[in-house]
Amino acid sequence: MTPALREKAIAVCTAKIALKGEGVGLSFYAFFANRNDTPDLLMEMATWWIKTHRLDHFVKATTIKAMLIAER
């Protein structure tokens, strides 16, 4: 995963946690706009989420954030 995408995902997780609390769940779509103008980045995140880590569709944002930070 590119460093820029990792940092964007960490920022999104941080914002969602601040807004909705530590129990909030996310899918990898949470890191992109409804109209995705960056399909390569979407596929990069999907690969990390689905193929690399075999995560469920929704995972707690705190878990995702910790995983992303650990892989820096």
**Residues 35-44: tens digit of each pLDDT:** 778 999 999 9
The pLDDT of residue 35 is 79
pTM, two decimals, is 0.92
Length of the chain: 72
Report how many domains make up the chain.
Answer: 1
Whether pLDDT at 52 is above 90: yes
**SS3 category, 59:** strand
Interstrand relation of 59-60 and 25-26 (parallel, antiparallel or unpaired) = antiparallel
Write out pLDDT tens, residues 17-29: 999 999 999 999 9
Residues 53-72 pLDDT 10s: 999 999 999 999 999 999 98
Q: Residue 52 is part of which domain span?
A: 3-70
What is the residue-wise DSSP string for 24-66? -EE-GGGGS-SS-S-HHHHHHHHIIIIIIT---SSEEHHHHHH
Position 36 scores a pLDDT of 78
**Distance separating alpha carbons of residues 18 and 71, to the nearest angstrom:** 22
